[in-house]
Amino acid sequence: MEKRVLGRTGLEVSRLGLGLAEIGSLELEDLAQAARVLNLALDQGINFLDTAACYGSSEELIGRAVSHRRSEYILATKAGHVVEGYQGEPWTAQTVRDSIECSLRRLRTDYLDLVQLHTCSVEVLERGEVIEVLQEAQRAGKVRFIGYSGDNEAALWAVKSGLFDTLQTSFNLVDQNARLFLFEPAKAQNMGIIAKRPIANGAWGAKRAPSEYAAAYFERAQAMQSLGPIEGAPDNGVLLALGFTLAHDAVDTCIVGTRNPDHLLQNIEWVQSVLPLSESVVKELHRRFEALAADREWVQLS
């Protein structure tokens, strides 16, 4: 599996990472299923695991399934939201501090490679207290690096602040604003870039929106596809979307979520044996997005 250096962190991450929100939808009793996916990913060379405190059972399952392999993976989580069972307010210093401690316990580790603020607003960022808590945890050795996960104005604030080591942001063939507005200033800060929603929730080529969550992506895909076939593009929409995201050198890793081992193996095979896409296909997708985005006010979707 190809690896890239994640910006100024110096961490070598697999180009294909594993997003673990879907694992979080499992029950704790589904440990065997979670363990199959996680161990398969590690066995196949994926070493970047991305979760969040608010992803259901995700952190607990990771800790139970693969904490004994802790030296083999780079562990990223997110903090800031109030999760079930916690008494407190979102986006306070105490909530983030407690979230980090809880993540350490659930993940069964004494350090987190990366903790990211999870889609908070510009107002929260400007107030500064949650950033200070991350820095405090970093000085204490509980967190190695700090990042921001989000989009649009808040993401740009985080980039320009110079305070964060990484940016996780939405980027795919129907959501390209990160390429236009975030990648260049982030790379100027030597930030690592993590692409979330890299396959556009399976919206490209679908006959209907794959889920309510993917409805806006489906509408965009329909608009872009209405401009006609793309010569040389693969027929499989997920392959096309994954290839598009990975065609951008600014992206250090992209996180694809699944709880299905067969889907995971298919993604790995595509990355290692089928991609990259042709440059002409990527440029045509650039052209179509730019032709439609401004008039339709296509902002990044969180």
Residues 14, 251 contacting (CB under 8 angstroms): no
In this structure, is residue 295 part of a structural domain?
A: no
In this structure, is residue 216 part of a structural domain? no
CA atoms within 13 A on the CB side of 259: 17
Residue 156 near residue 142 (C-beta atoms within 8 A): no
Predicted confidence at residue 83, as pLDDT, reads: 87
207 within domain boundaries:
no
For position 46, which CATH number holds? 3.20.20.100
Decide if 283 is inside a domain.
no
Contacts with 85 (C-beta within 8 Å, 6 or more apart), sequence order: none
pLDDT of residue 296: 94
* DSSP-derived secondary structure for 248-270: -TT-SEEEEE-S-HHHHHHHHHI
pLDDT for position 84: 79
Q: What is the pLDDT of residues 22-39, one digit of tens each?
A: 999 999 999 999 999 999
Residue 86: per-residue pLDDT: 85
User: Total domain count for the chain?
Assistant: 1
CB neighbourhood size of 16 (10 A): 26
Q: Is residue 226 part of a domain?
A: no
Within-domain flag for 224: no
Domain that holds residue 95: 3-202+245-277
Cβ–Cβ under 8 Å, residues 108 and 64: yes
Q: Which residue type sits at 164? A: F
Hunting for tokens 């309510």 — which residue is that? 212
> Does residue 179 belong to any structural domain of this protein?
yes
pLDDT value of residue 145 = 98
Q: Is 62 exposed, middle or buried (0-12, 13-18, 19+ CB in 10 A)?
A: buried
| pLDDT at residue 281, rounded to an integer | 98
210 domain residue, yes or no: no
CB 281 within 8 A of CB 230: yes
| Spatial CB neighbours of 252, under 8 Å, sequence gap ≥ 6 | 4, 5, 6, 7, 13, 15, 192, 193, 194
Chain centroid to CA 215: 19
For position 208, what pLDDT does the model report?
A: 94
Q: pLDDT at position 157, please? A: 98
Beta carbons within 8 Å of 219's beta carbon, 6+ residues apart: 209
DSSP 302: -
Task: Decide the pairing of beta strands 12-14 and 3-5.
Answer: antiparallel
For position 135, what pLDDT does the model report?
Answer: 98
Tens of pLDDT along the chain (302 residues) come to 899 999 999 999 999 999 999 999 999 999 999 999 999 999 999 999 999 999 999 999 999 999 999 999 999 999 999 987 888 899 999 999 999 999 999 999 999 999 999 999 999 999 999 999 999 999 999 999 999 999 999 999 999 999 999 999 999 999 999 999 999 999 999 999 999 999 999 999 999 998 888 999 999 999 999 999 999 999 999 999 999 999 999 999 999 999 999 999 999 999 999 999 999 999 999 999 999 998 999 999 98
pLDDT score for 37: 97
pLDDT tens string 192-221: 999 999 999 999 999 999 888 899 999 999
Q: Which two three-digit tokens encode residue 116?
A: 């990211």
pLDDT for 195: 98
